[in-house]
A and B are shown apart, each in its own frame.
Chain A
Amino acid sequence: MSDSPIAVEEHGPELRHHFETVEQQRNAASLGMWLFLGTEIMFFGGMFCAYLIYRMNYFNEFAAGSRSLDVWLGTINTMVLICSSLTVALGVRAAQMGKRTLLVILLLTTIIFGFAFLGIKGIEWYDKYKEHHIPGTSFSADDLVRDYPQIHIDQSHEQLYFSLYFAMTGLHALHMVIGVGIFAFLTFHAWKGRYTPNYYTPVEIGGLYWHFVDIVWIYLFPLLYLIDRRPLG
């Protein structure tokens, strides 16, 4: 790669040969990540569309399904993600200021928060499994019919709620897993000292991804857990 015909200026090893300046390279990377997040909005958007339509049609079943989720675990998980977003934002700041140890610590904390989120999510899924709320042949919403006699529930429609619940939280969790992977990569390179105040683009765009996954959850939480928590008349 050293035989680039155009060596316009002196630059560090992090500048890839086809860019003219570090500035151009960083802007390109950041724009690329934002565009990718745009596609992610549409990816989740397909499910939000399904959610919106079924929620309109089957509000009772959605309300009952929502009540069966553990709202406190959901709240705690939202807080866990918000904390992780904070550590990411502080991490980017540490990278900007060249504080290597702090950066590594913050990245590691983020990963721990990520695992905490996934762990709590796992507990919730396991509860659903025990309650036979996983759509399919063994699905049963008898408990919901029993617990919420005031709500008229059609058990087959109830499956739609849980199908969407598992699809949305499942794909969100998959994004979390990928995020944890990305952050493990970042931690490793941060540990190696690759990131300097002049070059921390990977931390920055990895952070953008993490914040986006957080935002998706910020919407999933009220849409799935808080559909109708009003006291039953």
Chain B
Amino acid sequence: MFDSFPLWPARASTGAGNVDALYIFLVLIASFMSVAIFTMIVIFALRYRRRRGIEAEQIEGSTALEITWSVLPLGIFMIIFAWGAVIYFKERTPPRGATEVYVVAKQWMWKLEHEEGQREINELHVPVGRDVKLIMTSQDVIHSFYIPAFRIKQDVLPGRYTTLWFRATKPGIYHLFCAEYCGTQHSGMIGQIVVMEPTQYEAWLSGGMATGSLASNGQNIFQQLGCPTCHRSDVQGRGPNLVGVFGKPVLLEDGRTVIADENYVRESILSPSAKVVSGFKPIMPVFQGLVSEEQLNALVAYVKSLSPPPGAAGVKPREPKE
């Protein structure tokens, strides 16, 4: 109906409908409020326009009215807040077992790498109906990964990971924009999200020139850098045994506990002395500047592969809905 003059972009993810529903609710509320106020103004302005011999009636104000029109909107606002918060909470809580794609942003391109090892530039192929989690970082300035059709956006920061997840519902090609101003070719830092049927996707995946999965690349780098000398997988070496560590709480030397998430693994490689695991000495060398963002991603993927999520072994079981 709105093909020639659309009011919203394609709705191509599980979350998009939720956002649109709240949006439409808000448009209705906002229209109602503005129409009500405008109508009142117009009616008053016409009804009480100046006439000879009729004086204005002085009215002091009304505390009851003031309270009413403070509390009522506040009630409505709280509904909007709660609704928006629920959507946001879902958007920021990636489901377990999502397929992971590592994203490295740089001026002015998107570099993406699949778990299976496929690399893409400014283009992301994903299957319909599968949860995809993006683990993103930037090589230089702040960028923002924005897919209007999925109604999601997340800034991509240098020096740490931010994440984003979605489940595409409709095959097609959608815009990928950089939404955070990042310099000269900011508007050229665009790409596309190619959503495919799972079979096509498998075909695409096997047709690529992947050089082994990301985790296995990571394992190679792990070997090359000599990490296994200390991080042994059979016993505790001079460094912690990394098997089964990922996603679990870690007791630190100074008594704090942190969750071993992507950012923790990343920090522990780049700046090992920052959060030393309890019982170990801070003897690990600093790798800041020695590994590239891509190598770092591979290492993180490798460490994660040492702790497979429960029930997530093998192919993701869920079928696409549409």
Contact = CB atoms under 8 A, between A and B. Distances in A.
A and B touch in the complex (CB under 8 A): yes
Interface size class of A (residues with CB under 8 A): under 10
B276 interface: yes
A152 B282 contact: yes
Contact of A157 (B271, B276, B282): B271
B271 A153 contact: no
A185 to B, nearest CB: 45
A117 to B, nearest CB: 36
Nearest to B284: A152
B288 A156 contact: yes
B286 interface: yes
B179 to A, nearest CB: 26
A58 interface: yes
Q: Indicate the member of A58, A153, A154, A155 with the most B CB atoms within 10 Å.
A: A154
A159 interface: no
B271 A60 contact: no
Give the interface size bracket for B toward A. under 10
A152 B288 CA distance: 15
B288 to A, nearest CB: 6
B43 interface: no
Contacts of B274: 58, 60, 152, 154, 157
A153 B286 CA distance: 10
Contacts of B276: 152
A154 to B, nearest CB: 5
Contacts of B162: none
B273 A156 contact: no
Secondary structure of the B side of the interface? loop
B71 to A, nearest CB: 33
B257 to A, nearest CB: 16
Interface in B266-304: 271, 273-274, 276, 282, 286, 288
B288 A60 contact: no
B273 A153 contact: yes
Interface string A11-25: 000000000000000
A153 B273 CA distance: 7
Interface string A43-66: 000000000000000101000000
A127 to B, nearest CB: 26
A60 B273 CA distance: 9
A154 B275 CA distance: 11
A153 B276 CA distance: 11
A157 to B, nearest CB: 7
Contacts of B288: 154, 156
Nearest to B253: A152
Contacts of B271: 154, 156-157
A155 B276 CA distance: 16
Interface in A58-115: 58, 60
A32 to B, nearest CB: 34
A155 to B, nearest CB: 8
Interface in B71-128: none
Contacts of A152: 273-274, 276, 282
A142 to B, nearest CB: 13
A118 to B, nearest CB: 36
A104 to B, nearest CB: 55
B286 to A, nearest CB: 7
A157 B288 CA distance: 11
A221 to B, nearest CB: 25
Contacts of B286: 154-155
A17 to B, nearest CB: 39
Nearest to A157: B271
Contacts of A60: 273-274
Given A60-B274, A152-B282, A154-B274, 15 more contacts: A58-B274, A60-B273, A152-B273, A152-B274, A152-B276, A153-B273, A154-B271, A154-B273, A154-B286, A154-B288, A155-B286, A156-B271, A156-B288, A157-B271, A157-B274
17 contacts: A58-B274, A60-B273, A60-B274, A152-B273, A152-B274, A152-B276, A152-B282, A153-B273, A154-B271, A154-B273, A154-B274, A154-B286, A154-B288, A155-B286, A156-B271, A156-B288, A157-B274
10 nearest A-B residue pairs (beta carbon) = A152-B273, A152-B282, A154-B271, A154-B273, A154-B274, A156-B288, A152-B276, A154-B286, A153-B273, A157-B271
